[in-house]
A and B are shown apart, each in its own frame.
Chain A
Amino acid sequence: MAKIIVMTSGKGGVGKTTSSAAFAVGLAKRGHRTAVIDFDVGLRNLDIAMGCERRVVYDLVNVLNGEATLRQALIRDKRLENLSILAASQTRDKDALEIEPLGKIFDELRKDFDYIVCDSPAGIEKGAVAALYFADEAIIVTNPEISSVRDSDRILGILASKSKRAEKGEEPVKENLLVTRYDPLRVEKGEMLSVEDVQEILSIPLLGVIPESEAVLRASNIGQPVILDGDSAPAQAYEDAVGRFLGETIEHRFMRPARRGFFARLMGRTA
């Protein structure tokens, strides 16, 4: 049975698109047929993160309006043949995201894919609600700071009240916490909330902690999901998180400051 995952946060700029790209690639790398959908209509970004922005012909809104078929709009990833991307439209707005036609798209996607990752826009309005409506599982992307945590709490409330599962009184959407842009050194100095603080406030299970790293920006600039940046800390952290998502038991890493070698300290390197 295909599973629909929403990557959501409430707040913008916390790493939803980076995490959607990384998760989609991580699932595909493990052999699962995976589709990743950009719900940020009007501010599309996922195509850039996936490095396929120059191959977009049709987008999600075209499919919703019947101007293109799903088959025409899905972009096959060049690195992984079992991974497809459905881009958002840059020229429309989120009012185009009607639940009923979206349901038909998901019904079709469920036939061809094992995992469907929905990259939610920021906010709590129509776009964000459309992205989470059909979800079976939610990954709540949160930065270790108060405003991000509060927005995550808000989106958890919306998941529990406005998702299809909530409306139909079915088993609730499964909630997972992904803490991104984590800097253990700044946590030690008291400049950032610790993972424990975030988890205590949100009280949902921790899927993973992604350390703050230059590798993330580098990956975004070259259109390669950071999970493919082999040795980097965020790549390893995302691999761990995908593994945990699939039920593997993997110890959490990157939550304590790395023991930096003498030379690294001398050179002032961080990652």
Chain B
Amino acid sequence: MSSNPQSHAEGRNNNQRSASPMPLRGASYTMMVLSLTELAQPDFFPRLQAKISQAPSFFDGAPILLNLEGTSGGSASDFKELVARLRELRLALVGVQGGDDAQHEAAMDVGLAIFPSWRAGSRGLRDLAMPVSGSSSAPEPVVEVKRPLLIERPVRSGTRIYAEGTDLVVTAPVGAGSELLADGSIHVYAPLRGRALAGVSGDTDARIFCRHLAAELLSIAGRHLVNEEIADAVLGQPVHVRLEGDQLLIETVD
């Protein structure tokens, strides 16, 4: 099995951009791809079953794309049977890819979508990473995630930490006289006594969260409050700070 990171819906949307004012919007999903040649192996279903049992919740209801490349033949009833067999495993076959016109017709007849083949330059198939308990090798993420900068030791006075282009997550106390900066949001799962500046490159949707508010300064996208301006009612509380219009809004959270 492999995953398909390319965006099908987006590609189609681009083609129709000038023609249609329809309220259709592009979105990109990661999908598992099954190859028909693999499916023809006699022990395919037991192997698939074994793989699913390693991480049942990961596969539950997952959309599947069938790659027909290098094959021919297959009637509408064949596709229908395959849909049913996959459904038994709680997998949803949503479309086919590659193959010839006859195969496409048959697939369309049973309601499957026709996905484009890999384009030159697309990243094509990659090995599927999934959470496997007891596996020693770290799985490669299915989608590329810009990870937050994670700080697990206390942030001491005089220290400055900048999470460039991402969020900042701190799991230890942030001392007075230290400074946290992030292009994204800031999360502190401990007392926040230093300065916290989120959205420093202008992201007004950035937020600040902390377990115990004692910050010297809070800032989102340049709008700031110094400690003296923070209401007593929220000091020492777990809070969520966001920008509403031009004002920093501090709300307690449980």
Interface residues of A (CB under 8 A from B): 124, 150-151, 153-154, 156-158, 160-161, 200-203
What separation, in Å, do the CA atoms of A150 and B156 have in the docked complex? 9
Please give, as numbers and ranges, the residues of chain B lying within 8 Å of A200 by CB-CB distance: 173, 191
Among residues of A, the one whose C-beta sits closest to the C-beta of B194 is A153
A84–B177 Cα distance when bound, in Å, is 38
Interface flags for B49-83 (1: CB within 8 Å of A; 0: not) read 00000000000000000000000000000000000
Known: A150-B177, A201-B193. A157 touches B157 (CB 8 A): yes
Is there an interface contact between A201 and B173, defined as CB atoms closer than 8 Å?
yes
Q: Given A160-B156, A203-B154, A153–B176 Cβ distance below 8 Å? A: yes
Question: Does chain A have a CB within 8 A of B175?
Answer: yes
Q: Are A150 and B176 also in contact (CB < 8 A) when A157-B159, A201-B193 are?
A: yes
B154 touches A156 (CB 8 A): yes
Residues of A within 8 A of B178 (CB): 153, 157
Residue among A158, A200, A201 facing the most chain B CB atoms (10 A cut-off): A201
CB-CB under 8 A from A157, the residues of chain B are: 155-159, 175, 178
* B153 in contact (CB, < 8 A): yes
Mark contacts of B149-176 with chain A using CB atoms, 8 A cut-off: 1 yes-contact digit, 0 otherwise.
0000111111100000000000011011
Told that A153-B157, A157-B175 touch, could you supply 20 new A-B pairs with CB distance under 8 A? A150-B175, A150-B176, A150-B177, A151-B157, A153-B154, A153-B156, A153-B178, A154-B158, A154-B175, A156-B156, A157-B156, A157-B157, A157-B178, A158-B158, A160-B156, A161-B159, A200-B173, A201-B175, A201-B176, A202-B154
Chain A residues near B193 (CB, 8 Å)? 201
Closest B residue, CB atoms, query A157: B156
User: Considering the chains assembled together, what is the distance between the CA atoms of A176 and B156 in angstroms?
Assistant: 15
Partner of A154 from B173, B177, B191 at Cβ < 8 Å: B177
Chain A minimum-CB-distance residue to B160: A157
Judge whether B153 and A153 touch: CB under 8 Å.
no
A151 vs B172: C-alpha distance when bound (angstroms): 18
Chain A residues with CB under 8 A of B154: 153, 156, 202-203
CB neighbours of A158 from chain B (8 A)? 156, 158
* Tally of B interface residues using CB under 8 Å: 15
Residues of B at under 8 Å CB distance from A? 153-159, 172-173, 175-178, 191, 193
Interface centre among B153, B175, B177, B191 (most CB of A within 10 A): B175
Q: How far is the CB of A126 from chain B (nearest CB, A)?
A: 16
* Contact yes or no, B177 A153, CB < 8 A: yes
Enumerate chain B residues within 8 angstroms of A124, measured Cβ to Cβ: 158
Q: CA A269 – CA B9 in complex, angstroms?
A: 84
Closest partner residue, chain A, to B175 (CB atom): A153
Chain B, Cβ-Cβ closest to A161: B159
Question: What A residues does B157 contact at CB under 8 A?
Answer: 150-151, 153-154, 157
- Report the Cα distance A186→B176, complex, angstroms: 24
Q: With the chains together, A161 CA to B158 CA distance in Å?
A: 11
Nearest CB in chain B: distance from A67 CB, A = 36
Please give the distance in Å from B160's CB to the nearest CB on chain A: 10
CB distance from A176 to the nearest CB of B (A): 15
CB closest residue in chain A, given B212: A200
Nearest CB in chain A to that of B214: its residue: A201
- B153 neighbours in A (Cβ, 8 Å): 160
Q: List 18 A-B contacts (CB under 8 A).
A: A124-B158, A150-B175, A153-B154, A153-B157, A153-B158, A153-B176, A153-B178, A156-B156, A157-B156, A157-B157, A157-B158, A157-B159, A200-B191, A201-B173, A201-B175, A202-B154, A203-B172, A203-B173
Measured CB to CB, the nearest residue on chain B to A124 is B158
A150 / chain B contacts, CB cutoff of 8 Å: 157, 175-177
B156 / chain A contacts, CB cutoff of 8 Å: 153-154, 156-158, 160
B159 to chain A: which residues have CB within 8 Å? 157, 161
Query: Nearest Cβ distance between residue B220 and chain A, in whole angstroms?
Result: 25
> Nearest residue in B to A149 (C-beta to C-beta)?
B176
- The interface centre, meaning the residue of B154, B155, B157, B175 with most chain A CB atoms within 10 A of its CB, is B157
Closest beta carbon of chain B to A204's beta carbon, Å: 8
Interface-centre pick from A154, A157, A158, A201 (highest chain B CB count, 10 A): A157
Smallest CB separation, A39 vs chain B (Å): 20
Inter-chain CA distance A204–B172, complex, in Å, is 11
CA of A200 to CA of B178, assembled, Å: 16
A-B complex: 6 closest residue pairs judged by Cβ atoms: A157-B156, A153-B157, A154-B157, A153-B175, A154-B158, A157-B159
Q: Which A residues are in CB contact (< 8 Å) with B172? A: 203
Which residues of B sit under 8 angstroms from A156, Cβ to Cβ? Answer: 154, 156
Contacts of B177 in A (CB 8 A): 150, 153-154
Which of A153, A156, A161, A200 has the most B CB atoms < 10 Å from its CB?
Answer: A153
